[in-house]
């Protein structure tokens, strides 16, 4: 498979390494010096995009114009999802996006949903804590937001999530997300359920970036020759 990498930073280089290990070919590497939006002939079967929230939507739109399937790992653009969904359908394109490509994180999502269902009728208060490297732009992380949406869907007393400095907030219908930024931390997410007498928690800790890169390449392999807007739940058959 011929892959174009859009965003040749730390993640882009890790994706290249994993793709080569899986016998794929990297045909183009786009970065600030060689912007993807200037590209006319990419010559790839699929693109993998990890850049910044202010670029991701334009990159997806350009991929649709080029009839280039794209896997998107950039987060922080969720407000534009409806327009991307319409564009993908109208142009018969291929986009797969995820807040996190780690296969373990998607198991974490499923366990969070099951734990939330168990806790719905119990006297425990949930909270989410996410910790990432200082270079991560969006806050809270897309993974934390996805986790929050799963919990809110399972525990009907919650109406929304909010960024918070504490696991306890006054509004009983608000799910708090605590966001931390520490140097050289690939990513840790924790769901905790606390009561006056104890606490139950579920944690996913990334040891390095390889898990994210591997998931993105597996997603690209899956996306080939498919049409539509997809997520990792489609890849892992979790829907």
* d(C-alpha 24, C-alpha 3), whole Å: 7
Residue 35 scores a pLDDT above 90: yes
For 49-64, write each residue's pLDDT tens digit: 999 999 999 999 999 9
> What is the dotted CATH code of the domain comprising 2-101+210-235?
3.40.50.720
What pLDDT does 239 receive?
Answer: 63
Residue 40 scores a pLDDT above 80: yes
Among the listed residues 59, 136, 150, 189, the single catalytic one is 136
Domains 2-101+210-235 and 103-205 share a fold: no
What pLDDT does 201 receive?
Answer: 96
Q: Is 132 a catalytic residue?
A: yes
For the chain, the structural domain boundaries read: 2-101+210-235, 103-205
More confident residue, 127 or 167: 127
Among the listed residues 24, 28, 59, 132, the single catalytic one is 132
Q: Kindly report the CATH class assigned to 103-205.
A: alpha beta
For 80-125, write each residue's pLDDT tens digit: 999 999 999 999 999 999 988 988 998 999 999 999 999 998 999 9
Q: What is the Cα 193 distance to its own chain's centre?
A: 23
Q: Is 136 a catalytic residue?
A: yes
For 81-92, write each residue's pLDDT tens digit: 999 999 999 999
């Amino acid at each position: 498979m011929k892959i174009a990498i859009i965003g040749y930073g730390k993640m882009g280089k890790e994706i290249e390494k994993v793709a080569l290990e899986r016998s794929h070919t990297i045909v183009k590497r786009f970065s600030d010096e060689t912007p993807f939006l200037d590209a006319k002939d990419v010559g790839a079967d699929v693109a993998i995009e990890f850049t910044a929230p202010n670029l991701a939507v334009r990159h997806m739109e350009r991929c649709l114009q080029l009839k280039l399937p794209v896997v998107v790992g950039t987060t922080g653009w969720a407000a534009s999802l409806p327009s991307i969904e319409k564009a993908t359908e109208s142009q018969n394109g291929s986009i797969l996006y995820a807040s996190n490509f780690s296969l373990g994180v998607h198991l974490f999502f499923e366990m969070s949903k099951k734990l939330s269902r168990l806790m719905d009728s119990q006297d425990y208060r949930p909270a989410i804590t996410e910790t990432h490297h200082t270079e991560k732009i969006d806050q809270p992380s897309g993974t934390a937001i996805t986790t929050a949406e799963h919990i809110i869907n399972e525990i009907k007393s919650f109406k929304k999530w909010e960024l918070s400095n504490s696991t306890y907030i006054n509004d009983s219908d608000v799910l708090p997300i605590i966001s931390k930024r520490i140097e050289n931390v690939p990513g840790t997410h924790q769901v905790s359920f606390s009561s006056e007498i104890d606490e139950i928690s579920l944690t996913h800790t990334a040891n390095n970036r390889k898990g994210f890169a591997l998931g993105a390449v597996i997603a690209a392999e899956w996306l080939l020759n498919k049409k539509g807007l997809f997520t990792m739940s489609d890849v892992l058959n979790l829907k």
